[in-house]
Amino acid sequence: MARNLILLAFVSVLVSGCIYVEECERVRDDGPDRAYMAAARKAPAQLLRHVVLFKFTPDTTAREIRRIENAFSALPSRIDAIYDFEWGTDVSVEDRQKGFTHCFVVTFRSEADRARYIPHPAHQEFGDLVGPHLDDVLVVDYWAK
């Protein structure tokens, strides 16, 4: 009798586990993963990266730098030619950054999108904001491989 109860309990756990897995799979298939995969399929074959490095003047305050970071980060919502955007501050241990502390990567689908970005009023406005605080700037564009 005890053996039958143990077997019944085991089968119940097994069956409920299978039902749970099925429900998880179904929910996952209808959730964000599906949207992500659809977006990934629509990604362009090649992407144009626009890498911008900033070296701020010694008198630029932390508050001014934060304002610049926020302004640059707002550009993707203001310029539809931008496909993707990311940024960060230097954390290298090699001590070869030559005073450049901030890296911004703006991604475009095409050269035409980059050509719309450069003269865009929001980009020009950002340039007016950051310009007085730059000791140096380095820009490199490349096609991602």
Q: Quick one: 69 and 6 in the same domain?
A: no
Q: Quick one: 69 and 129 in the same domain?
A: yes
| pLDDT higher at 41 or 126 | 126
Percent of the chain with pLDDT over 70: 70
pLDDT tens, residue by residue, 7-66:
455 445 444 444 443 333 433 444 555 555 555 556 678 999 999 999 999 999 999 999
Q: Quick one: 64 and 19 in the same domain?
A: no
73 CB neighbour count, 10 Å cutoff? 13
pLDDT at 35: 55
Q: Quick one: 35 and 84 in the same domain?
A: no
Residue 1 pLDDT class (50, 70, 90 cuts): low
User: Closest Cα partner for 52 from 142, 145, 125, 137?
Assistant: 137
Q: Quick one: 36 and 63 in the same domain?
A: no
Give the domain extent around 21: 2-41
The chain-wide mean pLDDT, for the chain, equals 83
Q: Quick one: 92 and 120 in the same domain?
A: yes
Q: Quick one: 123 and 76 in the same domain?
A: yes
Say how far apart CA 31 and CA 35 lie, in whole Å: 7
Contact 104, 49 (CB under 8 A): no
- List the beta bridge partners of residue 103: 53, 88
Q: Domains in the chain: how many in total?
A: 2
**What's this model's pTM, rounded to 2 decimal places?**
0.71
Q: Quick one: 30 and 69 in the same domain?
A: no
> Can you give the CATH number for the domain in which 119 is found?
3.30.70.100
Which strand (E) or helix (H) includes residue 66?
A: helix 62-78
Q: Quick one: 52 and 95 in the same domain?
A: yes
The answer, yes or no, to whether residue 127 has pLDDT greater than 50, is: yes
